[in-house]
Amino acid sequence: MNSHTTFYIFGPTATLKRMSDRMFKEHDPKFLYTYPNPDAKEKIFVAVYEEYEKQINSSVTLTCIFEMGSQHNKVVLKKTGGRMGFRGSSLSEERNVEANIISFILDFGKRYGLTVQEEQVSDQKEEE
């Protein structure tokens, strides 16, 4: 199982710049850090989302690294926390924060005509 999900979003520069503002306004993170790069026209945002899952009595944290460039955006989602394999760890039917963020990325891309590509990483090492 992959430990992270990566999306590459391509499209017009003006639309790519609006995406981060809309995402963080619509899905308010618990913590948001901005790292501007003065040499290049890139910005890096690190957003931390946290939600408590009452059903399994644990909190789940989603770290979202949003790299905004002039040619494309790169979004890396890393989910941590929660409990697996314990009593009561059945998946909840409610949408979690990761599903909401992925849904936003796909919906924003479709709505504004952007090209959204999910990086496919193989779990198995290549055999020689």
State residue 91's pLDDT score: 53
- In degrees and rounded to multiples of 5, residue 52 shows phi and psi of -100, 125
Share of the chain above pLDDT 90, in %: 45
3-state secondary structure of 39: coil
Going from the C-alpha of 15 to that of each of 34, 38, 48, 64, 115, the distances in angstroms are: 19, 21, 23, 19, 12
Does the pLDDT value for residue 88 go beyond 70? no
The residue-averaged pLDDT of 42-46 equals 90
58-68, strands of its sheet edge to edge:
31-36, 43-53, 58-68, 72-81, 4-10, 115-118
3-state secondary structure of 107: helix
